[in-house]
Amino acid sequence: MKKSIVILLISVCLIGFQQQRADFSGRWKLDLKSSKDLPESFKSLQSYVLSVNQTIDSMVMQPEMTGAGQKFKLPPTIYKFDGSEVYREDKERGSQRWIKSGWTTTGQKLIVTNRVIQKQGISEHHYTQTDVWQFGKKNTLMILVTQKFEKNDSTHTERRYYHRVP
């Protein structure tokens, strides 16, 4: 009986000390004016919205863009939180991605690492992209994107700021 009570108390204490992970679920509109060092292609956008559906073990993210008189959705991207790799091919934009994701020890930042092959005509670019997802001030979502290109040994970094929308 005493052993059962001790085990129960230890279990309750451990559950109480577990870190809560940030929940990025919802619709997030990119703040094009506050974001820094976005690619040139973003200049023609009127809006860029992420739809995020997060569960305990994964997250599905799907961007929707409006600009130049068009509105389109990119294919959804799946992030698994167990560290396993997810393959994603986007034939329309000519890219292949191998995606791994995991949480920092506090559970407040999600680190997503992509190995990417981007084909443009006959040329092919290989790079690694790291995205750090975290909440900012006033319930904003910040995603820090860093791309490291293999051949020319260059790096591109951008800060994307999002606001929750209904």
Count how many residues are written for the chain.
166
Predicted confidence at residue 62, as pLDDT, reads 97
User: For residue 12, is pLDDT > 90?
Assistant: no
Predicted confidence at residue 145, as pLDDT, reads 97
User: For residue 61, is pLDDT > 80?
Assistant: yes
Question: Within its chain, how far is the Cα of 9 from the centroid?
Answer: 37
CB atoms near residue 75 (< 10 Å): 12
User: For residue 103, is pLDDT > 90?
Assistant: yes
Give the integer Cα–Cα distance in Å for 148 and 52: 26
Predicted confidence at residue 11, as pLDDT, reads 43
- Structural domains of the chain, ranges and CATH numbers in brackets: 21-165 (2.40.128.20)
Predicted confidence at residue 132, as pLDDT, reads 98
Which residue do the tokens 């800060």 mark?
159
SS (H, E, C) the chain: CHHHHHHHHHHHHHHHHCCCCCCCCEEEEECCCCCECCCHHHHHEEEEEEEEEECCCEEEEEEEEEECCEEEECCCEEEECCCCCEEEEECCCCEEEEEEEEECCCCCEEEEEEEEEEEECCEEEEEEEEEEEEECHHHEEEEEEEEEECCCCCEEEEEEEEEEEC
Predicted confidence at residue 159, as pLDDT, reads 97
CB atoms near residue 74 (< 10 Å): 14
> End-to-end CA distance of the chain, in Å?
52
Predicted confidence at residue 1, as pLDDT, reads 54
Predicted confidence at residue 52, as pLDDT, reads 98
Reported as a single tens digit per residue, the pLDDT across 65-97 is: 999 889 989 889 999 999 999 999 988 888 999
User: For residue 13, is pLDDT > 80?
Assistant: no
Predicted confidence at residue 7, as pLDDT, reads 45
User: For residue 112, is pLDDT > 60?
Assistant: yes
